[in-house]
């Protein structure tokens, strides 16, 4: 299951980097604005909750993106640059361990984030957050597919 999540994240990352650079930042800001509105609505955040929640969420999201970009980009480069079939078992094992360590870092980051949210939001809203994030990602991918049906 972790591998499927990693592959999904890799696919999303690769597709996002395919956008033209000048428009990329503008599109990312647009997506972020839509995400804020979607999550705020889905969680039914009060103004007080939103004021406390968004700085914590944004810090978590930035750190998560940083980890993914740093680590996953290096994995993609390594997989592109080297033929995996030519790796020794020892090299492949080291590579796999690095991938697992990254997954663990992301997991630990999420756990810390959730612990921080417990002082800000009711538990039910924290649970709803995961569903809202997944719902937003599905909606975004669906819109992308509908806009680019041949790809």
148 by DSSP, 3-state: which? coil
47 vs 51, 52, 119, 121, CA distance in Å?
Answer: 6, 9, 16, 12
The torsion angles phi and psi of 104, rounded to 5 degrees, stand at -65, -40
How far is 92 from 138, CA to CA, in rounded Å?
A: 33
With a cut of 50, list the residues of the chain below it in pLDDT. Answer: 1, 6-7, 9-10, 19
DSSP 92-116: HHHHHHHHHHHHHHHHHHHHHHHHH
The model carries a pTM of 0.72
Nearest to 13 by CA among 142, 141, 146: 141
User: Helix, strand or coil for residue 144?
Assistant: helix
Distance, CA of 87 to CA of 110 (rounded, Å): 32
In this prediction, residue 11 carries a pLDDT of 52
pLDDT at residue number 32: 92
d(CA 128, CA 44): 10
- The pLDDT value recorded for residue 7 is 47
């Amino acid at each position: 299951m972790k591998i499927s999540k990693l592959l999904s994240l890799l696919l999303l990352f690769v597709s996002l980097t395919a956008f033209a650079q000048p428009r990329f930042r503008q599109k990312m800001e647009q997506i972020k604005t839509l995400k804020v509105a979607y999550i705020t609505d889905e969680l039914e955040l009060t103004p007080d909750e939103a004021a406390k929640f968004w700085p914590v969420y944004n810090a978590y999201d930035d750190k998560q993106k940083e980890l993914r970009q740093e680590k996953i980009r290096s994995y993609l480069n390594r997989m592109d640059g080297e033929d995996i079939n030519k790796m020794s078992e020892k090299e492949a094992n080291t590579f796999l361990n690095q991938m697992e360590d990254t997954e663990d870092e992301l997991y630990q980051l999420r756990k810390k984030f959730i612990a921080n949210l417990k002082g800000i939001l009711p538990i039910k809203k924290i649970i709803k957050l995961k569903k809202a994030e997944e719902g937003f990602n599905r909606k975004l991918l669906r819109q992308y597919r509908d806009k680019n049906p041949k790809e």
